[in-house]
Amino acid sequence: MSSTLIAAERRSADLEQAVRSDPASFRILTGDRPTGPLHIGHYFGTLENRVQLQQLGVELLVLIADYQAITDSPAHLPGDVEGLVADYLAAGIDPGRAVIFAHSQVAELNQLVLPFLSLVSVSELRRNPTVKDEIAAGGGATSALMFTYPVHQAADILFCHANLVPVGRDQLPHVELARTIARRFNDRYAPGAPYFPEPEALMGTAPLLLGLDGRKMGKSRGNAIALGATADETARQIRAAKTDAERRITYEPDRRPEVSNLLRLAAICLDVPPGAVAEEIGDGGASALKRVVSDALNDRLAPIRARRAELAGQRDHLRAVLAQGNARAQEIAGETLRAVKELMHTRY
Ligand code: TRP
Q: Digits of tens for pLDDT over the chain (348 positions)?
A: 678 888 888 888 899 899 999 999 999 999 999 988 899 999 998 899 999 999 999 999 999 999 888 877 788 899 999 999 999 999 999 999 999 999 999 999 999 999 999 999 999 999 999 899 989 988 788 899 999 999 999 999 999 999 999 988 888 999 999 999 999 999 999 999 999 999 999 987 777 899 999 999 988 888 999 999 999 999 999 999 999 999 999 999 999 999 999 999 999 999 999 999 999 999 999 999 999 999 999 999 999 999 999 999 999 999 999 999 999 999 999 999 999 999 999 999
Closest of 83, 84, 95 to residue 31, by C-alpha: 84
Helix (H, G, I), strand (E, B) or coil at 271: coil
Q: Which residues contact 57 (CB under 8 A, 6 or more apart)?
A: 23, 24
Ligand 1 atom with the smallest distance to the CA of 162 is 14
> What pLDDT does residue 82 have?
95
Q: Which residues' Cβ are closer than 6 Å to ligand 1?
A: 29-33, 63, 65, 68, 153, 156-157, 165, 167, 171
* Ligand 1, atom 6, residue with closest C-alpha: 31
pLDDT of 69: 85
Distance 148 CA to ligand 1 centre (A): 13
Contact (CB, 8 A) for 165 and 26 = no
* Phi, psi of 310, deg, nearest 5: -65, -45
Residue nearest to atom 15 of ligand 1 (CA): 32
pLDDT of residue 140: 81
- Side-chain half-sphere CA neighbours of 261 within 13 A: 22
Distance 33 CA to ligand 1 centre (A): 7
The pLDDT value given to residue 221: 87
Nearest CA residue ID for atom 5, ligand 1: 32
Q: Partners of 30 in the beta sheet?
A: 62
Give the whole-angstrom CA distance, residue 18 versus residue 157: 20
Which of 30, 35, 82, 79 lies closest to 54, judged by CA?
30
Whole-Å CA distances, 234 to 107, 212, 214, 257: 40, 11, 16, 20
Separation between Cα atoms, residue 129 and residue 120, nearest integer Å: 15
What pLDDT sits at residue 204? 77
Q: Are 319 and 96 in contact (CB under 8 A)?
A: no
Element (H, E) at 274: helix 274-281
**Burial class (CB within 10 angstroms; exposed 0-12, middle 13-18, buried 19+) of 280:** middle
Q: What is the pLDDT of residue 1?
A: 63
Residue to mutate, 32, 50, 170, ligand 1, most ligand atoms under 8 Å from C-beta: 32
Q: Distance from the CA of 69 to the center of ligand 1, in angstroms? A: 11
Atom of ligand 1 nearest to the CA of 153: 9
CA of 253 to the centre of ligand 1 (A): 29
**Measuring from atom 3 of ligand 1, which residue has the nearest CA?**
32
Among residues 293, 261, 297, the alpha carbon closest in space to that of 280 is found at 293
Are 275 and 256 spatial neighbours (Cβ–Cβ below 8 Å)?
Answer: no
Distance CA 34, CA 174 (A): 19
Beta strands 59-64; 200-202: pairing state: unpaired
* Ligand 1 centroid to residue 267 C-alpha, Å: 28
pLDDT at residue number 27: 97
Residue 59's DSSP bridge partners are 27
Q: How far is the CA of 296 from the centre of ligand 1 (A)?
A: 30
